[in-house]
């Protein structure tokens, strides 16, 4: 038999609970869907000729993809995980970014 002492766990040493984080995959998914939606808006306004415009400017719009995902995560975190408000604010923010870039490139 081993010669050892028992270790008592007191209530003062509470085990760390699981923290709920509000940044999540949902925010990234909302950001990506907002990017896709904003990418489709010029096609609705200008029609199929938008493809010729995107032929030369696609790196600018592709660079907005990680920005849109980070904006989705950040806004999802700021509204504390409320999905409806997160969707509305992310779609609005990403659409405004796309609009500003599109208008700047159009001249």
% the chain with pLDDT above 90:
48
Helix residue spans in 47-81 (DSSP H): 50-78
Q: Tens digits of per-residue pLDDT, 54-99?
A: 888 899 999 999 999 999 999 998 988 788 999 999 999 999 999 9
> pLDDT at position 23, please?
58
pLDDT of residue 3: 74
Contact 61, 101 (CB under 8 A): yes
**pLDDT for residue 13 is more than 80:** no
Q: Could you state, in order of their start, the residue ranges of all structural domains in the chain?
A: 19-106
């Amino acid at each position: 038999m081993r010669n050892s002492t028992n270790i008592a766990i007191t209530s003062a040493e509470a085990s760390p609970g699981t923290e709920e984080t509000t940044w999540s995959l949902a925010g990234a998914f909302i950001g990506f869907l907002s990017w896709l939606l904003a990418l489709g808006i010029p096609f609705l306004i200008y029609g199929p000729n938008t493809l010729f415009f995107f032929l030369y400017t696609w790196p600018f719009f592709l660079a907005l993809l990680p920005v849109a995902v980070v904006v989705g995560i950040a806004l999802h975190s700021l509204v504390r995980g409320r999905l409806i408000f997160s969707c509305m604010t992310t779609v609005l923010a990403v659409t405004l970014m796309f609009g500003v870039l599109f208008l700047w490139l159009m001249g």
